Amino acid sequence: MVKGSIWTSFLLIVFIIMMLRQTTSFLTRTTTQRTKPRTTRSLGAVADDFLTPFAPPSPFPYPRRIPVPGTDKTLKVCYTDYDSLVVVSKPPGLLSVEGASGCSENAVSAVCQEFGVADVPRAVVHRLDMETSGLLIVALRPDAQRWLYEEFREKRVKKTYSAVVMGTLSPHQQQGESSVKSAKALDSIIDKGPWQDVVDDAYLSSLQHFIETSNVGVNYMKGVKERAEKSAPGVTRYESEGLVEVNGVDCTRIKLFPHSGRTHQLRVFCRQHLNRAILGDRGYMCGGGAKSLLDKTSAGRSTFQTALEENIDWNGRMCLHAGELSFRHRGVNQMIHIQDSEDFGI
């Protein structure tokens, strides 16, 4: 009788141990399944390996080149998450947005047409000057525009530009950081110093006289000075990348890292802080290194514009390109880094 009880107890213990093992195994499998990373993708979702440009699931549903209606220009698609935003590379000579002129031939409108976005103003996040090429973010949804605006406003978007400036930089100018006002002062245009060999004194004197005496000129300069006083300075860091020869003249490649986004910030920075204009920049070529690239055989020409067009153009473009963008994509909580290099054909 005692032996039977012992045997029964033994079998009961074995049964309990087996049940405990099965329960532990089941819990382990369940936990593993719950903690295993999800690999399913859906339209609008971005996996970690999509953070590099052009790494979406195949096939890529949108063309890598978007035509701009009414022009012979195209936009290169550098990144899209299919759902909230697109990053394109804009060519020079194309407006970023419609602007006051109401021109429909612009980058944002072309992207909206391609991606079926009806509310074009809600797609605008930032802009590049018409003559500046490079990376441009376009929002596909209003909520994406809101958080992208905030990223720019809080200066969390990191931007890098490449440029070529006229002339050489001194040893102490190889790198640095400074802040300048972004008002385009007409004083720099009528400063005849760098233009003595190409623009005659009579033309400059008449321009100076018009500005100082006419109501239009006085009011314009008054407005320029008021805007300059009220505007916040644009902070820019830069690094020299060495010399390059352009039509037999030494120029300098530089990298620019703006910490803000003022109008013409980088163009004014190069002109005022470096005393060197960006090659091909018709708005700010009137000083600094401009003289070194001017053909002195043009002495006697009487118009400012003729001197510009014939002597300081480069392949019909300005040598300023937005080549790198880094920002946090809130939809996936990941940093996105996009590159689009440009050598300006030099």
In a domain, 103, yes or no: yes
Q: Which residues fall within 8 angstroms of residue 331, CB to CB, at 6 or more apart?
A: 44, 46, 81, 83, 84, 144
- Examine the domain organization and report whether 182 and 312 are in the same domain: yes
Q: What's the half-sphere exposure (Cβ side, CA atoms, 13 Å) at 191?
A: 13
Q: According to the model, what pLDDT value does residue 297 have? A: 33
- Examine the domain organization and report whether 52 and 68 are in the same domain: yes
Q: According to the model, what pLDDT value does residue 54 have? A: 36
What three-state secondary structure class fits 313?
Answer: coil
- Examine the domain organization and report whether 224 and 140 are in the same domain: no
- Examine the domain organization and report whether 129 and 269 are in the same domain: no
Query: Beta-strand (E) ranges in the chain?
Result: 65-67, 74-80, 85-90, 133-139, 158-166, 175-180, 234-246, 249-258, 320-329, 334-339
- Examine the domain organization and report whether 137 and 276 are in the same domain: no
CATH number at residue 80: 3.30.2350.10
Q: According to the model, what pLDDT value does residue 202 have? A: 54
Q: According to the model, what pLDDT value does residue 113 have? A: 92
Rounded Cα distance between 340 and 107, Å, is 16
Q: According to the model, what pLDDT value does residue 296 have? A: 33
In a domain, 153, yes or no: yes
- Examine the domain organization and report whether 173 and 310 are in the same domain: yes
Q: According to the model, what pLDDT value does residue 160 have? A: 96
The pTM assigned to this predicted structure is 0.66
Eight-state DSSP code of residue 278: B
In a domain, 218, yes or no: yes
Q: What is the pLDDT of residues 203-220, one digit of tens each?
A: 445 555 555 555 555 565
Q: Which residues of the chain have pLDDT under 70?
A: 1-7, 9-12, 14-15, 17, 19-63, 100-102, 180-233, 285-314
Residue 246's beta-bridge partner residues? Answer: 249
CA distances from 255 to 3, 128, 202, 237, 321 (A): 91, 17, 39, 8, 10
Q: According to the model, what pLDDT value does residue 52 have? A: 39
In a domain, 202, yes or no: yes
Residue 313: give the domain boundaries: 163-320
Q: How many domains does the chain have?
A: 2
